[in-house]
């Protein structure tokens, strides 16, 4: 009987909701007293499906990621869909953090589910 049934699993991110979450995070970062002068930028690249955070120090980077994750949750996007790369040095002593948006399920995970 199990041979006659199938299961479809869809794991896609709504990029418009991700864009809204990024815009809300930018707005909050520019209003927060401790982050106001950090010149933090958050850019969503819809083509490559990643987010790049560029900020002045590690505290600002961690706070920006925390704000972004809270906005993702409020917009109904799971933070498990964010895969963070290692922070790297950018120009003028700044830090850059790349967050990849995961779409779909890997073959290994699909085998575990089925």
- pLDDT tens-digit series, residues 36-74: 888 999 999 999 999 999 999 999 999 999 999 999 999
Tell me the C-alpha to C-alpha distance, in Å, between residue 7 and each of 1, 13, 36, 42, 67.
14, 20, 48, 37, 35
Show the beta-strand stretches assigned E in 1-114. Answer: 41-45, 50-55, 82-84, 88-89, 95-101
Assess if residue 3 is contained within a domain.
Answer: no
Q: How many domains does the chain have?
A: 1
Are 69 and 80 in contact by the 8 Å Cβ rule? The answer is no
Q: Is residue 99 packed enough to be buried (19+ CB in 10 Å), middle (13-18) or exposed (0-12)?
A: buried
The CATH number for 76's domain is 3.30.70.990
User: For residue range 84-101, what is the model confidence (pLDDT) as tens digits?
Assistant: 999 999 888 899 999 999
User: pLDDT value at position 12?
Assistant: 78
User: pLDDT value at position 9?
Assistant: 58
Assess if residue 5 is contained within a domain.
Answer: no
Assess if residue 1 is contained within a domain.
Answer: no
């Amino acid at each position: 009987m199990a041979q006659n049934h199938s299961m479809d699993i869809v794991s896609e991110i709504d990029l418009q909701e991700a864009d809204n979450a990024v815009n809300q995070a930018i707005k909050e970062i520019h209003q927060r007293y401790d982050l106001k002068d950090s010149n933090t930028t958050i850019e969503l690249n819809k083509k490559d499906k990643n987010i790049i955070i560029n900020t002045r120090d590690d505290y600002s980077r961690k706070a920006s990621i925390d704000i972004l994750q809270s906005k993702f949750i409020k917009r109904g996007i799971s933070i498990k869909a964010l895969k963070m790369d290692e922070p790297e040095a950018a120009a003028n002593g700044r830090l850059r953090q790349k967050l990849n948006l995961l779409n779909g399920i890997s073959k290994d995970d699909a085998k575990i589910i089925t």
